[in-house]
Amino acid sequence: MKKRFGLINQEALKGKYESNKRELFRKYLGENYEVVAFQWEEIKDNIAVIAEQDSGDYVADVPLKSLDAVHLSSLGAINGKISKLIKLIKDFKKLPSTKVVNDPTTMLENFDKQYLLYLQEQGFPVVPTQELGNLTYAELRKLQFKGFEQTIVKPRIFGERMNGVMLTTDLGSEEGLQFYRETYGEHILVQPCIKEITQEGERSIILVGDELSHGICRHRKGWCYNAPESQINPTEPTEVEVEIAKRVLKTWPTKYGVTRFDFIKNKGEPLISEVEMINPGIWIGKGFPEVDKKFMELFKEYIDQLTNF
């Protein structure tokens, strides 16, 4: 008897890319699972509205408790929707028979990039990071990380899609810093601006459990981390990147499933810029067959173990 697998796809009814992702999950899980796709914002009272994928007509309402497993594949922009999303993740914690990728506790804690400070304290190679705290604008301008000319500020909590990343100089004044605090909260991180990202790109490696799936390199235009992406290509992760990622996971305090590690090179050495465990972008369905195959094979094994299939 087939089990039921829920794929949370924020653009569940739109776009070729999301359609390709749905078909991959159906192709690799379909023998053992009924795969249903839905958008998280359409979940009400722990019931998901399942839509027929081609016509867009609503065909069924599926209680979340009827799902054996759920994967938060894409959430879309969550600005202004954070409280609703947190409630949904907490609701999943109340459904012990529904296995969630990633674990709800892990997702809730991953909203806070305080883990960068923890990893830094443990000696892992992280983009140098410190809290803004009560620094004034003048003090912030004087702050320098050894070997770097400029600094950036970024929200520590809910800083998704690089929202809020700014050059310190762009704040302009004490008033500008105060406005930034009012906009993004008191928990703000300060980091160096690593300009090598414009030449080397940002490298990401994706793991399923403890197993390496694939690597992706993103080349961006301009200095800024949230500049428009110009190119995305598969890349072979280096032994150093994989070793760092696996060492980090060994210290991770909560359960993990699909994880994306982002690295920025500084003078040839990889530095962790992010560890994404909420809905990590993994770039399947983008026209890279080997990436699709490797990830989905590992994911199927992981889900089978998770659901005791």
- pLDDT for 161-202, tens place per residue? 667 889 999 999 999 999 999 999 989 999 999 888 777 788
**Can you tell me the distance from the alpha carbon of 229 to that of 214, in angstroms, rounded to the nearest whole number?**
19
pLDDT surpasses 60 at 225: no
What pairs with residue 43 in β-bridges? Answer: 48
Is residue 264 within 8 Å of 270, Cβ to Cβ?
yes
The pLDDT value recorded for residue 104 is 94
Q: What average pLDDT does range 226-242 have in this prediction? A: 81
**Can you tell me the distance from the alpha carbon of 38 to that of 285, in angstroms, rounded to the nearest whole number?**
17
Structure-block tokens of residue 152: 């950036």
Rg (alpha carbons) of the chain, rounded to whole number: 20
- Domain spanning 128-192 has what CATH number? 3.30.1490
Residue environment code for 173-208, b if the CB has 16+ CB neighbours within 10 A, otherwise e: eeeebeebeeebeebbbbbbbbeebeebbbbbbbbb
Residues with Cβ within 8 Å of 266's Cβ and at least 6 positions away in sequence, in order, are: 127, 147, 194, 196
Would you say the CATH fold of 128-192 matches that of 3-101? no
pLDDT surpasses 60 at 254: yes
- Domain spanning 3-101 has what CATH number? 3.40.50.20
**With pLDDT > 70 as the criterion, what percentage of the chain qualifies?**
90
Is pLDDT larger for residue 222 or for residue 76? 76
As a whole number, the mean pLDDT across the chain is 88
Residues 103-127+194-298, CATH architecture: 2-Layer Sandwich (3.30)
Residues with Cβ within 8 Å of 233's Cβ and at least 6 positions away in sequence, in order, are: 216, 217
The pLDDT value recorded for residue 229 is 53
Q: What average pLDDT does range 109-119 have in this prediction? A: 95
What pairs with residue 219 in β-bridges? Answer: 231
Structure-block tokens of residue 259: 């994880």
Structure-block tokens of residue 87: 């409630």
The pLDDT value recorded for residue 160 is 63
The pLDDT value recorded for residue 220 is 64
The pLDDT value recorded for residue 295 is 98
Domain segments of the chain: what residues? 3-101, 103-127+194-298, 128-192
Residues 36-64: pLDDT tens digits?
888 888 888 888 877 655 444 556 788 99
Is pLDDT larger for residue 166 or for residue 224? 166
**Looking up tokens 């600005």, which residue turns up?**
79
The pLDDT value recorded for residue 30 is 87
